[in-house]
Structures are given as C-alpha cells and as structure tokens.
Structure 1
Amino acid sequence: MVRKLVIFLILLGVQASAWAQEGQVVRGEVVDAVTQAPLPGASVVVLNSDPQLGTITDENGKFRLWDIQPGRYNLLVSFIGYENYLFREVLVGSGKEIVLKAALQELTEQLEEVKIVARTSKEQPLNTMATISARQLSVEEANRYAGGYDDPARLAGSFAGVASEIGNNGIVVRGNSPRNLLWCMEGVEIANPTHFANVIAFGAGGITALSSHMLANSDFYTGAFPAEYGNALSGVFDVRLRNGNNETYEHAFKAGVTGLDFSSEGPLKKGGASYLFNYRYSTYALLGSLIPEEAGDIGYQDFSFKLNFPTKRMGNFTLWGIGALDDQERDPLEDQSEWETVQDKEGYALDLATGAIGLTHKVLFNQTTYLHTTLAASGNRIETVYDELDEGMDLQPKERVNNNTSKYTFTSTLNHKFGVHHANRTGVVVNRHHYNVDNRETVVLGEPLVVFADEEGDASSVQAYSQSMVNLSTQVKLNLGVHLHYFSLNDEVSVEPRVGLKWQFNPNQSLGFAYGLNSRIEMIGFYMARQQTDNGIIQPNKGLKMTKAHHWGLAYDINLNRNTRLKIEPYFQYLYDVPVVPDSYFSLQNLEMDWFFNETLVNDGTGTNLGVDFTLEHFLTNGFYYLATASLFDSRYKGGDGIERNSLYNKNYLLNLLAGKEWQLGKNDANTLSLNGRMTWMGGDRYTPLLVDESMASGELTYDYSRAYTKQEDPALVVSFSLSYRKNKPKHASIWSFHLLNALGNEEYRDYEFNLQNGRPEKQFDRIVVPNLSYKIEF
C-alpha cells in the first residue's frame, strides 16, 4: 500500500510539473516529395534535446511533439529509403502551434546510413522539377530580413540577380522589366498582388497585398524554369497559401504606423477542415512629410482567406482568395506662388482593385499518382482621373484611365511516379480573358481628350505542358519537358522546350545546367491602341506576336560546411520578337509606364542579358546568420533602328549584404531579441539625356533619343534595419518591432520636369524614408 502511494505521489508530481510547463505543440506531416503520398513510420527527432525528444509518424504520415519550450530547434526527419530532411532553426513561441511539412526525396538506391546527408528545409526549392535558378522563400525569412517590410516582392530584391527600388516593389530579374515576371497563387496565374500596381510602374506597386500570416513557404525562380510555367520571360513567383490550424483557434492582431492587421484561423468542424483569413487596413497619414508630397492621401485595404476541406475518399478541397482595394487623391495647389513643377497644379484621384478566387481539388489515386485541378477567377481594375489648373485657375481634364481586365482559369495537372527513376507531370491551363479598356489624354490642355484605346472584348489563351524527372543515376538527375502556348488574339502558337541537368558529384557539391524557351503576352492595352487616320480609326498592334526569350544557365553549388553554402550561376538570355517602333530607339522592354501609348509596333526587336550571380549564405545558427549576394551583368537591346544600346535596367552590378543576430532573454531564455540589417549597393539608374536648349525653346521636354540610356546616375547605397522583441507568455506572445527602410535617405531619380519658378528643366528625385513601429499580439 505504501509502495502504491509513493508511485501515485511521484506520478502526481510529474503531472503537476507538466502542467506547470508552458510548452507548445509542434506537429506536421511527412510525405513523398514527388507524389505527396504520406510516409507512415518516419522518425522525427529534436536534435540536441535533453532528454531526447522524438516521435514517429502515424498511418497518415502525421506526427506530434508535446511541451516544446519557446526557442529555436532543429528537427531531423528520416525514413528508410529516403533522404534525411532537416528543419533548421524552427522558432517555437507561445500563442501559435507550429505546423510543419517535410517532403522527402526517395533515394535511387539504398546508401549506407553514414553516407546519407540531411537536406535542409531551405536548401532546395519546393518544386522537385526545378534544376537551377530557383530558391525557396520561407515565411520566417520574410518576417526576419531587414528591408523586406514583410513584403515578399521586396524580400526577393535581396536575392542574387534581382534589383529592386525604394519607391516601388517591382522585381527586376537579370535585367528584365518587372512586367515580365509571372505571379502564381496556388498554382494559378494571377495579376500582380500589389497595392497600387501599374500606377507607379508597369509590373510594380507600392506594397504587397499578401500578408505573411497567410503565406506558406514558396518558390522564386530567376530563369530557365520548369515546363509547367508559361507566360513569363524573367522569373516566376509561385506563392502558396498555408492551411489554417485544424485543431486550435489562433488569432493575431497588429497595430503600427502604417495601419492595422488582423488574422484568425481554426477548425471548422470535425474531420480536419479549417479556415484562415487576414484583413489589413492601412493609411500613410501618420508618416506625413516622409512620403513625397505629390503622393497625396493614400489608403488601402486587403482581405485574403483559405478554407481547407479534407475528405476520406474524394480528396482535398480548398477555397482560397485575395482582394485588395486602393485609393489615392491629391488636390492641386491653389496658390500659384507655390507652384514649382507641373505636379503642383495637378489634382488626381485613383481607384484601384485587384483580386482572385479559386476552388482547388487534389486527389491521391494511390501512392504514385495524384490529380490537381483548379477553377479560378481573377481581375484587375484601374481608374484614374488627372486634372490640371489652367492659367485662369480653372480645372481642366488631363487624363482618364479606365482599364478593367478579368480572367477565368481552368488548370489540371496529373502527376505520376513510374518508379524511383522516373516521374512525370502533365497539365493544361485554359484562360478566358475579358477586357474593357478606355484610355484618354489631352494633347492641348482645355481641348477635348484624345482616345488612345477604347475597346471591350474577349480572348482566350491555352497552355499545355509535360515534364519528366529522370534519375539517370544516384548522382545525375535530368528534367525534360515542353510547354505549348496559344493566344487567340493574334492566333499564335509558341512551342517551348525546357531541359535541366544536375550532377551531384559528391554530397556537398553539384553542377547544374538548364535551358528554356519562354514567351509572354503583352498587356491588353498595347494590342488595343488606336490611331486616327484619313481613312478612319485603325488598330495597328492587334496582330503583335508574343515576346520570346532563350535562357541558358549554369550553376555550381557547394556546401562549405554544415551551415554555409556558396552558389555561382552564370547565365545568358536572348530576347527576340520584342515589340519596337520602326526606325526608332524605342523597345517595349524599356517602357516603365505609359497608358497612352499608341505607336505602331513590330516584332523586330531583340535583347540580351549576360551575367553571373553569386550567393554566399550562412544559415541561422546559434542566433546568427548572413546572406551575401552579388551580380555582375550587362543588359542590352536593339530597337526599331537596329542600334544596340544599354537597356533601361542595365545597372551593371548589384551587391546585397544581410545579417542578423538573435539573443534569447528572460526566464528559461523564453524571449527573443532580434537585430537585422541590410545594405544594398548597386549601379545607378539609366536615363536619356535632355536637350536643354530645345526644351526651353519649345516649352516641352525634348530628349536626345539618339543617346537613349547612355547616362547613369551615381551608384546607390541603401541601408535598412529592423529591431524586434518577442515576449512569450503562457497563453500569448507579444512582438514589438521597428523597421526602417532607406535609413540613409538615398534619392531615386524620377525624371526631368520644368521648374515653373525659373522656367528651366531640372532633374527630379524622390527621397523616401519609411519607419514603421508596430505591436503584435498572438493568442
């Protein structure tokens, strides 16, 4: 009896101790990387834990670890016949469970246990068909890196081969226009998910409409991408949304200088269904003079969601969506003595909306085959009104833009694994486009607006692809595919081969090669441009062909040690069928922004991008990390006159250095202080010299287009940093953060404008310094 009482008291003490701990749940699933089939019996171990913590996956590939204290942990996942998988430096805190997914690569032949090297969760892209020029972007990085501003697009600017600006989040990949980037969400092409997209520059906006609360780890490509991606010339941003927590209700609220952010997730019913949504409302009114005066009053909001419905026999259904609303307005200055440039006497109002919604179904037929199908609708609306005060102080119409586009999409992909040596992915993408374009501008202030485009109609595009991954040996992998692209508006078909080869000649080093032919449809407004002739209205650009590009790339990748890797990627891109104006310097590849373009275009232009990218990365270890990237490149083009020139985006060199340090503070090291910095040094902006005397004589800006893009501003140095403190309480976590973008106040060249005070044309620059102090609570 005494012995039983002692045992009872010991157990009671152990249980009380467990209750006293404020541990967190870490759970997830382990699947085959190619088939997505669950792997039951896989081992999951928390490295360097004392006592050793670990578990194995159940029959559905699920695992669960209890009572994990706040901090960072490395988790090793292993399964017989598969490569080991390492989750590196997983941040565990109170307030939110940690849900992970490990996708394991099957070994082509069984190796001795001592030879099996763990592949870390961020070394390789999520897409197994990618060979080179691809990087996984983690949500944790998006929250941690300085200068990213919780914006995936801005974060991509720290990667090798990518240039970015302060005033917008356009992604310039290897000398290509931001317009040439493909945005995907849940495998479906969508419009640029950015607030104020195509207002600052085509393909760019102000800040992302994607909240980090919604994102799962995603892939970013800088060239020679797999055959499943079409309608892209420069790169691909394949954004994935995570599922909400299907067991526990969790919420987060954030308030900062730029606005409010609220998210919630949790189970919908028994059976694993879940919801996740995020809403943001923002205004830049509190930033005051830190924003350029001509920006006016800015406001935006966005909402995104994902509903997940797993079933026992019919597969998995998800309903997802994103929507963004933007408004911006500014009144002209009524005191003429305050007029310095034309912008001072202009007033404008902008009303923009973008969004996408999709229903996705994924079903695993067996352990080797799955079908992934999506029905989606997406759209974009841009309505702008510009007016200008005349000499009599009357407001005259100057510009009207009404650009409404929408698209209905059907995609379906069949993925089959024939065996350890061969897997195939074949699919189709069908788009039905609708457009309503009405763009007008005055030629002489006070006279009626001239119509540059006024068209409503429909068009279709169809893409089909098939790609195979072939393991030729334990060291050599071949990715081979083809992509077909058809556009009904010009009745053109593009056949695009893709190939990638990777040789892993030892566990720590590899060589890769990839080639791809790509094509891209231009913005609808360019096809609809109209001209008034003696014989009536004509539309000379309706038959424009798609712009195309060959892309070759090499890659050498070496793990210098367990925590550091070096990657070197030389590349060459040749663009052709580029729309240009005959006998002119002009090429559409250099056009940043112009809703009122109606020149006749022909597909006679070409372009080249030649360079080499370097990446040296030290993964977060013992609270410290760094990422150093450098790019040396030359971007050139030939316009309608056949003369080779620097392209607008030819900065020649880029250097990024990011680093950060974390300190564990408080009782049991439960809290985290984090300091992060980023320095970017890059070549200056290209511009065309101005003919000053001619401009002053005519009263209009007159450029020397024979020397287009020969001038270059001084090199730019941009420094940003962030500081955050996370405090973990039993039932919630609080995070104080301070971000400062462009701490040194670097100026960006905008253009020439007449100084109305002295009548001379002068260069205009923007200096944007953006501080953001915020408080966030997770509960």
Structure 2
Amino acid sequence: MKLNKLVLFFLVFIAYQSFAQTLQQVVRGKVIDAATHQPIIGAIVFVANTSPILGISTDVNGNYRIENCPLGQQQIVTSYIGYAPAKVQVILNSGKEMIVNVELEESYVQINEVVIKAGGDKTKSNNEMATASARQFSVDEANRYAGSFNDPARMAANYAGVSLTSDVRNDIVIRGNAPGGLLWRLEGFDIPNPSHFSATGTGGAVSILNNNFMANSNFYTSAFPAEYSNALSGVFDIKLRNGNNEKHELTAQVGFNGFEGNAEGPINKQKGSSYMVGYRYSVFSVIKKLGINYGTTSVPQYQDLTFKLFFPFAKGSFTWFTVGGLGSNTILGKDVAPTDFVGRKEFDIYFKSTMGVSAFSYNYNITPKSYLRCVAGITYDASALLLDSINTTSASPYRNEQNNRFKQGAHTYINTKHSIRLSSRIGLIADNIGYKSKNTRYLGNVTKNLFDVSGNAILLRAYAENSYKLLPTLTANTGVSYMHFMLNNTISVEPRAGLAWQATPLHRLSVAYGLHNKLQELPVYFIATTQVNGVVIETNKNLKPTQSHQLVLSYDWNLTEYWRVKAETYYQSLRNAPIEQRSTSFSMLNAGSELALPYVDSLVSKGIGRNYGVELTLERSMHRGFYAMATLSLFKSEYKTNDGVWRKTAFSSDFVTNALVGKEWKLNDKFTLTSDIKFTVAGGRRYSPIDTAATQVLGFITRNEHDAYSQQYKNYQRIDIRIGFRQNFKHTAHELAVSLTNVTNRKNIFGVDYNPTYKTIYYTYQLQFVPILLYRLYF
C-alpha cells in the first residue's frame, strides 16, 4: 500500500512539474575561421525549424548567445558570406547550457545568392586535409546507438569497414587490419589505447575516455592526412571540449561505465577561464549482486579521472588536460563456469592495468592568417598478469608477466591560410619512448625468467601538407610525412595525395592514396635470444616498420537534405611484416587476435599482405526525431609468409553489416521518449584447426598452424535495444535509459577450450543477454 502511494506521488509530481512552466535553454559559443582560428565577426547563428527564427550575429570577438531556445533535439546552423555553412545537432536540456563552438571553412565559390538549408552531410570530417575515408564523430549522435555502452570505440564499430574483435574487448579492426595499427590521438597528442584492462598494443573491456567531456572528433579508416604517422589501419583523433566559463554545472551518472560524477565551471569569469573534472568507479560488482549474468564470473574493478583546465588570453590559449585510470580483476578457478569466455577452471588469474596521459597545450595566433599549436606531455601504461595453477600437473603452473610503457613527447605545428585557395600545415613530433617487460614461469620445479627486457628509443617525425582548391569544385590535398626511428636508424618517407571533385551540389567523387608505416611494438625489438655459446643477442632490433600502400575511391550522394549514400572501394598492399625465418604461418599482421602480444625472436621483415573490399552506407541524420543508418562491408584480408602460401588473416571475417534505427517522441516541452535498435550480422571469428590428438596428449589446446585461420565460427549475430526518456525540470534534467544487449540471447562463439579432467574440447561464448541501466542527472 505504501509503495502504491509512493508511485502515485511520484507520478503526480512528474505531471505537476511537466505543466508548471515552459522551459528553455541558452545556446552560445564562438565562431572562428577553421584555417586561421581568427574570430568571424557578423556570422549568422540560428536554431533551425523555429518560428519565429531564433538567431543572432556574432560580435567583434566571434561570440554569440541565443536565449530562450526550445528543449530537445535541435540543429544549430552557422553561416557567413564566403564560407560553407555548418550544422551541428544538439540535445538541449534544462540542466545544462549548450556551448557550440564552430569552425567555418572558407568556400572558393562565386556566390550570387545564399540559401541556407538545415540538412547536408554533417558526418564530413572537419579536417580540410582529409579527402576520403574520413568521418566526423559526433558524440551526441553516437550516444544514441544501442549496444555501444557509451564507449567511443564501440560506437565507431557501427561505421562501414569497422568491427570489433569480440564483445569483451573494444579493439577496433578496420578493413581487416590488426587493431594495433590504429593511432589514438587526444588533443593533438598521441596516446596508448585508452582502455581499462588492455595489454600491450590491444584494447580493453571498458573505455577510460569520458564521453561526457568529448567534443566532435575525427575518425579515419584509410589514406589519412600526413599529420598522422606511425599508423596503418586508421586514426581516432579525439577532442575534449572546454568547461562552461560562465556558470557551475554538475552531472551525476550511473551506467555500464560506472558510477560517475562530473563538475565544470568558470575559474575566472572576466578572463573566460574554465575547469572540467570527472571521476568514475566500477559498477560491475553491483551488476553481479543483482544476479545479472553477462557471460563470465569475472567482476572487474576500475576507476578513472579526467580533467581539463582552459586559460584563454588575447592571442591564444593555454590548457592542461589529464586522463587516467586504474583497473584490477581477480578470477578464481573455483568460480569459473565451463563456458566462461574469461578465465580457466585450472587457474587463479590476477590482472592489473594502468593507463594515464597528462599534457599541456599552447595556442598562439601568429598573424591574422596563421596560428601555432604546441602540445607536450607524458603517457604511461602498464599491465600485470599472474596465473597460478590450482593443480601441480599443469605444464606451466605459475606465470607472471609485467609490462610497462612510458613516453615523453611533444607535437608542434603551424597552420597557415595563404589565400582563399591554399592553406598549409607543417609540424614536428618528437617522442622518447621506453619499455620494461618481465615474464617469469615455474617450469619443472624451477622458476625461470623467459625474458626480462627493457629499453628506450627516440622517434622523430615531421610532416608538411596543404589543401589547394584548383577550381571551385575541385580540391587537391597533398602531403609528405617523415619518420626516423633512432633505435635502428630506420627512416620512412610517406607521400599522401587526394583529389575531391564536387560534381554537383549532390554528388561528390574523391580518390586518395597514402603510404603508411607503423613501427612494431617496442618490446618486440628487445626480445633476447640466448645462443649456444651463451651469448645473448637481440635478434629483432633491426626490424623495419610494417608498410602499407593504400588507395581509396569514394562516392557521396546526398539524396535529400537528410538522406545520404556513401560508397567506397579500396586496396591495401602491405610489406615488411615481421615473420619467422623458418617456414611457418606466423606473421605480426595477426597480432592482437589474442590478448597478449606475441613474443617471438629471430624475426625478419619479409612478410606481405593485402586487404581489399567495398563498403556501402545509407544514412539519415536526425530530423523530426528520426534517424537511421545501414552499413555493409565486404572485404578480404590475406597474408603470406616465406612458405609462399596466401592465408586469410585472423581478422578476415569477410563481411560486416549493421542496421540502426532510432526514434524520439517529444510528448511536450519537458518530456521525451526515445527508442533505438541495432542489428549486427558479421562473419564469425577465424581460428586455426585443432589437433585433437596432440591436445589430449599435452593437456591444452594445440592447433594445426600450417592451416592457420583457415576455419571460421558461425556468423556473429546480435540485436540490441535501447529505450529511455528525458525529463526536464526548472533547473535540473533527468535521463533514464535501459539497454538490452543481445536481446535474443544468441550464443555467439568466442573460442574453444579444453577440459583436461574430462579430456573434452568445448566452446566458450560471448556476451549473453545483458540489461544495462543508465541514469543521468544534470544540475
């Protein structure tokens, strides 16, 4: 009876609040020239589809402020004579001001009459040096995708050509390339994979990045501009927004990523400085206590911190940002279920991980046509794995691995707008990278160090790139990147080129080429080999960077203001991949298919590979409460070692298709219902055939490596649903959503394992049906 009264009181309270008053919000920000970072005076900023139109022009500093904006999904349109208009999709709520900073690109077009439409391709990268295979990553849009767990990497897996290696890790596989080929960049500074429970060069279970602090970013899947180097598969260039510089705001949240508290506000209102800080703590122990089964008995514990301080001055700004996290996980063999995809019944497993980055950046407007940006900082990531066998009959009853990586680095560049047709960027990157790794095992009643290596090296890089408008409808992007790895004096010179033709306002055709090189993970160079005479040598020290020639042809068709089609085809030729000197199927092109990095000595840079495929995207951007996206990727990823046999790589799943649909119902000015659904079908994980006889004799899974990755599990299928609502009050806003992951509870195969007691081989499976609750409060 008391519960019924409480529910009734809550409903009456909601209803009262819903009709108490009309709620509105402020939209403000700054408009600048994308090439020079100079403020644009007199630019028109307005809220689309409002009557009468809500809009204003920017002041002498490029600032604008629009009062009394209606809540919910809105599109902010910015225009200025001689510039291409910009459209930004936002969600306005009553608990948080919306700050939208806009960079406009000058348009080399003779304009007689300007007509601004609210649609267009809002997914285009905001980097004018990018020609093809580039996309703007919008946090507001990606947050709606069902099954993404508010993880930027999992959100990106919805795009054409992108997939994940498994449900348990957020490794990004792009066009069949190993996940270690992806470059992560934060605020212009290269960083390790920002995930909890990641091992060297791989992803992890939970992202450390706080998507509440992210600004619109760029995601590249091939032939990327020259400013990005030491990468093969793609680039995730993450931007952090600045905190509110006028009022203090708080956000509280609980969801898959943990219990979260965020704060932001002004440091000095007169000078425009601001702070932003957020802390999260693991929620998995609560999920487990609620009896929710997510496919493993593992209960990971983690915490992370993000902050950014912003200090503007007359001709630029200074910032300090830090992102870091700690994680630990204990999996006891007695608690492991037979089908767990994490853990083994015969081992107790203890795992710890650490990741952090802290850097300072400095922006300075040198002239009205150029600006300088410098960023310098440090990164650190470490992992520790201890496997302790429950029984003494194990071939390796004790195993202890410790890996530590660090970097001190700096990146500086000058961006110059020479004319309306030509802009350029030149930059330098210098890194001192170090590594320490130790692997201890208990073998035959003897504790043995399999390896104990450490070292450091200097990596120097430089680049120059420019964008030149040959005609009003034809743009050429060219560049060159230089990389010098001083450990073994390897030098790489990488040309980049692209040509984009805007055939009509609705049709765009582009072609791009890039030569890309990626160093091996640093510990690979320091793997030691003990010769017969007892002399220890580092046989991998002279390995070359893995090289990839990439060619992309792209076609964009804007069907309407809100519907678009994009088709791309590509070919990638890979060289200098590390392989063994003897005739085997091993190649570093498959690194990342397992959790640990392969530690193999006496490698040579003679392996080759090739990736090719086609991709199709049909997308409707959010309009009138409805969005949709469907992607299809068909591809092959193959490699060859010195035995002369072409094999499929571990990441050649052959196809990936996604379909996403979302709808919002704005019941009134304060209450909105949302629903999203995602359907994924992909080729199953590849694996090498199991040698059953050898497995039963040795007591662990043994594979036929001659036929490496020739087998494939059944197709992966998953349906995810997200249902939620947003409620606005006078000074606060609430968001509640439930994500239903794998609603059909399909058993997607993760891998195979061996039970030595019963001498049987069995499947392990990926995530089962998992309901995840999200609650967010703005105040």
Cα displacement (A) at 1:488: 1.4
Alignment of 1:91-130 (within 5 A): 91-114=91-114, 120=120, 122-130=122-130
Give the % identical residues: 35
Q: Take 1:29 and 1:197, find their aligned partners in 2: how far apart are those partners?
A: 38
Kept after mapping to 1: 8 A contact 2:296/2:340: no
Match of 2:309, SS state, is strand
Cα displacement (A) at 1:36: 1.8
Kept after mapping to 1: 8 A contact 2:347/2:389: yes
Cα displacement (A) at 1:671: 1.7
| More moved, 704-713 vs 170-179 | 704-713
Cα displacement (A) at 1:122: 2.2
Q: Residue 609 of structure 1 is aligned with which of 595, 608, 611?
A: 611
Structure 1 residue 412 corresponds to structure 2 residue 412: yes
| More moved, 531-540 vs 475-484 | 531-540
Query: Judging changes above 3 Å, is the alpha-carbon distance between structure 1 residues 545 and 725 closer, same or farther for their aligned structure 2 residues?
Result: same
Structure 1 residue 56 corresponds to structure 2 residue 57: yes
Kept after mapping to 1: 8 A contact 2:296/2:337: no
What letter matches 2:474 in structure 1? V
What letter matches 1:402 in structure 2? Q
Aligned to 2:177: 176
What letter matches 2:112 in structure 1? E
Q: Take 1:693 and 1:521, find their aligned partners in 2: how far apart are those partners?
A: 39
Q: Take 2:586 and 2:665, find their aligned partners in 1: how far apart are those partners?
A: 53
Aligned to 1:469: 467
- Per-residue CA deviation, residues 490-517 of structure 1 (Å, 9 max, x unaligned), is 2100000000110001111110000001
Aligned to 1:484: 482
What letter matches 1:102 in structure 2? V
Q: Take 1:709 and 1:388, find their aligned partners in 2: how far apart are those partners?
A: 29
What letter matches 2:637 in structure 1? S
What letter matches 2:737 in structure 1? S
What letter matches 1:560 in structure 2? L
| More moved, 248-257 vs 570-579 | 248-257
Cα displacement (A) at 1:601: 0.9
Aligned to 2:531: 533
Cα displacement (A) at 1:50: 2.2
Kept after mapping to 2: 8 A contact 1:255/1:775: yes
Aligned to 1:389: 390
Q: Take 1:338 and 1:713, find their aligned partners in 2: how far apart are those partners?
A: 16
Aligned to 1:263: 262
- Per-residue CA deviation, residues 532-588 of structure 1 (Å, 9 max, x unaligned), is 332222221111111110000010001001110000000001110000112111101
Q: Take 1:337 and 1:524, find their aligned partners in 2: how far apart are those partners?
A: 36
| Superposed CA RMSD | 2.4
Kept after mapping to 2: 8 A contact 1:631/1:653: yes
Aligned to 1:590: 590
Alignment of 1:106-255 (within 5 A): 106-114=106-114, 120=120, 122-164=122-164, 165-198=166-199, 202-255=201-254
Q: Residue 634 of structure 2 is aligned with which of 613, 619, 632?
A: 632
Query: Judging changes above 3 Å, is the alpha-carbon distance between structure 1 residues 595 and 274 closer, same or farther for their aligned structure 2 residues?
Result: same
What letter matches 2:580 in structure 1? V
Aligned to 1:657: 659
Q: Take 2:62 and 2:342, find their aligned partners in 1: how far apart are those partners?
A: 64
Kept after mapping to 1: 8 A contact 2:24/2:71: yes
Cα displacement (A) at 1:756: 2.9
Kept after mapping to 1: 8 A contact 2:297/2:335: no
Q: Take 2:342 and 2:155, find their aligned partners in 1: how far apart are those partners?
A: 34
Q: Take 1:549 and 1:152, find their aligned partners in 2: how far apart are those partners?
A: 26
What letter matches 2:174 in structure 1? V
Match of 1:106, SS state, is coil
Cα displacement (A) at 1:744: 2.4
Q: Take 2:764 and 2:514, find their aligned partners in 1: how far apart are those partners?
A: 40
Kept after mapping to 2: 8 A contact 1:389/1:396: no
Cα displacement (A) at 1:87: 2.9
| More moved, 27-36 vs 566-575 | 27-36
Match of 1:747, SS state, is coil
What letter matches 1:627 in structure 2? M
Kept after mapping to 2: 8 A contact 1:342/1:756: no
Query: Judging changes above 3 Å, is the alpha-carbon distance between structure 1 residues 471 and 283 closer, same or farther for their aligned structure 2 residues?
Result: same
Q: Take 1:121 and 1:653, find their aligned partners in 2: how far apart are those partners?
A: 26
Match of 1:365, SS state, is strand
Query: Judging changes above 3 Å, is the alpha-carbon distance between structure 1 residues 115 and 285 closer, same or farther for their aligned structure 2 residues?
Result: closer
Q: Take 2:335 and 2:727, find their aligned partners in 1: how far apart are those partners?
A: 51
Query: Judging changes above 3 Å, is the alpha-carbon distance between structure 1 residues 464 and 149 closer, same or farther for their aligned structure 2 residues?
Result: same
Cα displacement (A) at 1:753: 2.4
Kept after mapping to 1: 8 A contact 2:149/2:256: no
Cα displacement (A) at 1:358: 0.6
| More moved, 118-127 vs 563-572 | 118-127
Aligned to 1:72: 73
Cα displacement (A) at 1:80: 1.5
Query: Judging changes above 3 Å, is the alpha-carbon distance between structure 1 residues 280 and 121 closer, same or farther for their aligned structure 2 residues?
Result: farther
| More moved, 119-128 vs 356-365 | 119-128
Kept after mapping to 2: 8 A contact 1:587/1:640: no
Match of 2:127, SS state, is coil
Query: Judging changes above 3 Å, is the alpha-carbon distance between structure 1 residues 599 and 746 closer, same or farther for their aligned structure 2 residues?
Result: farther
Aligned to 1:356: 357
Q: Take 2:702 and 2:91, find their aligned partners in 1: how far apart are those partners?
A: 56
* Structure 1 length-normalised TM: 0.93
Q: Residue 601 of structure 2 is aligned with which of 599, 602, 605?
A: 599
Query: Judging changes above 3 Å, is the alpha-carbon distance between structure 1 residues 392 and 132 closer, same or farther for their aligned structure 2 residues?
Result: closer
What letter matches 1:30 in structure 2? V
What letter matches 2:183 in structure 1? L
Q: Take 1:60 and 1:662, find their aligned partners in 2: how far apart are those partners?
A: 37
Aligned to 2:48: 47
Q: Take 1:635 and 1:773, find their aligned partners in 2: how far apart are those partners?
A: 38
Cα displacement (A) at 1:392: 8.2
Q: Take 2:256 and 2:423, find their aligned partners in 1: how far apart are those partners?
A: 49
Aligned to 1:642: 644
Structure 1 residue 725 corresponds to structure 2 residue 737: no
Match of 1:197, SS state, is coil
Q: Take 1:241 and 1:476, find their aligned partners in 2: how far apart are those partners?
A: 32
Kept after mapping to 2: 8 A contact 1:83/1:117: no
* Unaligned residue ranges in structure 2 (runs of 5+): 1-19
Query: Judging changes above 3 Å, is the alpha-carbon distance between structure 1 residues 336 and 308 closer, same or farther for their aligned structure 2 residues?
Result: closer
- Per-residue CA deviation, residues 697-734 of structure 1 (Å, 9 max, x unaligned), is 34443322221111111111111111111100000001
Query: Judging changes above 3 Å, is the alpha-carbon distance between structure 1 residues 379 and 28 closer, same or farther for their aligned structure 2 residues?
Result: same
Cα displacement (A) at 1:257: 6.3
Match of 2:467, SS state, is strand
What letter matches 2:724 in structure 1? S
Number of equivalent positions: 752
Query: Judging changes above 3 Å, is the alpha-carbon distance between structure 1 residues 427 and 569 closer, same or farther for their aligned structure 2 residues?
Result: same
Kept after mapping to 2: 8 A contact 1:257/1:287: no
Match of 1:352, SS state, is strand
What letter matches 1:745 in structure 2? N
Match of 1:113, SS state, is coil
Kept after mapping to 2: 8 A contact 1:175/1:649: yes
Cα displacement (A) at 1:443: 4.7
Q: Residue 491 of structure 2 is aligned with which of 490, 493, 507?
A: 493
- Deviation beyond 4 Å, 4+ runs, structure 1: 114-121, 289-295, 334-342
Cα displacement (A) at 1:333: 2.3
Q: Take 2:585 and 2:741, find their aligned partners in 1: how far apart are those partners?
A: 36
* Structure 2 length-normalised TM: 0.93
Q: Take 1:402 and 1:755, find their aligned partners in 2: how far apart are those partners?
A: 27
Kept after mapping to 1: 8 A contact 2:404/2:435: yes
Q: Take 1:160 and 1:249, find their aligned partners in 2: how far apart are those partners?
A: 39
Query: Judging changes above 3 Å, is the alpha-carbon distance between structure 1 residues 74 and 141 closer, same or farther for their aligned structure 2 residues?
Result: closer
